[in-house]
Amino acid sequence: PERSFIMVKPDGVQRGLVGEIVKRFEQRGYTLRAMKMMHASKPHLEEHYKDLSSKGFFKDLVAYMNSGPVVAMVWEGKDAVKTGRKMLGETNPLASAPGTIRGDFCIEVGRNICHGSDSVESANREISLWFKPEEIIAWDPCIKDWIQE
């Protein structure tokens, strides 16, 4: 099954939205495989967002992401990457539909609460950047047959 790397950004943590974001993925039927809180270093965040290093906002982005702790997670289930992005909303919260996380909780692109991998390849890269293999937990939710055909 597909996995995505989902992260509550420092503003999401400060605003008490960790539970809300976890709840949405749980309720949708995804399985939590890994989770940890950490205050990520600037070099770690520069590596995470390296595809954006040429952008004018890169320095501000890294400072924002380094401004407090984040909650990093691995969620697993059918179409986790694309559906996870839909649940997050658009990069610009003002373009995000109500009902999405960004569409319900924020208004600024530079304070958009959550991160989600943009492809399966990015997900694999990000999961191995943020988690050691032994931090990814194999377990079977007892409700799985009520979620998966």
Q: Which residues in this chain contact Mg ion in the complex, by CB under 5 A?
A: 118
Instruction: Identify which of residues 118 and 135 has a Cβ nearer to Mg ion in the complex.
Output: 118
Compute the distance between CA of residue 5 and CA of residue 96 in angstroms, rounded to an integer.
Answer: 20
Residues in 117-146 that interact with ligand GTP by CB under 6 A: 118
Instruction: Identify which of residues 60 and 121 has a Cβ nearer to ligand GTP in the complex.
Output: 60
Where does this chain touch ligand GTP (CB under 6 A) — which range of 30-38, 73-81, 115-123, 134-142?
115-123
Q: Interface with ligand GTP includes 57 (CB under 6 A)?
A: yes
- SS3 for 7? strand
User: Quick one: which of 5, 29, 30, 1 has its CA closest to 119?
Assistant: 5
Catalytic residues: 115
- Residues found near ligand GTP in the complex (CB under 6 A): 52, 57, 60-61, 91, 109-110, 112, 115-116, 118
